[in-house]
Amino acid sequence: VLLALTYRKLVDRDFKVLSVIEREMPRYEYVPVEVIERRLRMPSIHVAMSLQKLNRLKLVKRRIGEYTGYRLTYMGLDMLALHSLVERGILQALGDTLGVGKESDVYSGLTPNGERVIVKFHRAGRTSFHRIVRVRHYAAEKPYSSWLQLAKLAGQREYRALEELYRVGALVPRPLGYSRHAVVTEYIEGVELYMYKEVVDPESMLRDIMDTLRKAYLEVGIVHGDLSEYNILVVLEDDRERPYIIDWPQYVERDHPSAEQLLRRDVEYVARFFRKRYGVAADTRKLIKYVKGE
Ligand code: ADP
Ligand code: MN
Domains of the chain: 2-185 (3.30.200.20), 191-292 (1.10.510.10)
What is the per-residue pLDDT across 228-264, written as a single tens digit (0 to 9) for each? Answer: 999 999 999 999 999 999 999 999 999 999 999 999 9
Is residue 108 within a helix (H) or strand (E), and if so which, with residue range? strand 104-110
CA–CA dist 112, 133 (Å, integer): 41
Distances (CA, A) of 30 to 9, 229, 293: 24, 42, 51
DSSP letter (8 states) at residue 66: S
Choice from 233, 234, 244, 250 to test ligand 1 binding pocket (greatest atom count within 8 A of CB): 233
Nearest to 21 by CA among 82, 73, 84: 73
The verdict on ipTM greater than 0.85 is yes
CA–CA dist 161, 220 (Å, integer): 8
Predicted pLDDT of residue 141:
61
CA–CA dist 38, 266 (Å, integer): 51
Evaluate: CB of 98 within 6 angstroms of ligand 1: yes
Give me the catalytic one of 78, 96, 201, 226. Answer: 226
Phi-psi domain of 293 (left: phi exceeds 0; alpha: psi -120 through 50; beta: other) = left
CB-facing half-sphere around the CA of 108: CA atoms within 13 A: 9
Predicted pLDDT of residue 99:
81
- Amino acid letter, 228: S
Ligand 1 atom closest to the CA of 247, numbered from 1: 6
**Which residue has the least CA distance to atom 11 on ligand 1?**
99
Catalytic residue list contains 226: yes
Predicted pLDDT of residue 138:
47
CB-facing half-sphere around the CA of 115: CA atoms within 13 A: 16
Residue 173 near residue 244, CB atoms below 8 Å? yes
- Amino acid letter, 235: V
Q: How far is CA 76 from the centre of its chain?
A: 16
Strand order in 116-122's β-sheet?
93-100, 104-110, 116-122, 182-186, 175-179
Degrees to nearest 5, angle at CA 164 with 190 and 152: 85
Q: Which regions in the chain score pLDDT beneath 50?
A: 131-140
Evaluate: CB of 105 within 6 angstroms of ligand 1: no
Ligand closest to CA 95: 1
Evaluate: CB of 104 within 6 angstroms of ligand 1: yes
Evaluate: CB of 191 within 6 angstroms of ligand 1: no
Predicted pLDDT of residue 137:
45
Predicted pLDDT of residue 100:
81
By CB atoms closer than 10 A (0-12, 13-18, 19+), residue 276 is exposed
Residue 236's DSSP bridge partners are 241
Ligand 1 atom closest to the CA of 101, numbered from 1: 4
DSSP letter (8 states) at residue 142: S
Nearest to 150 by CA among 117, 177, 128, 175: 128
Predicted pLDDT of residue 187:
98
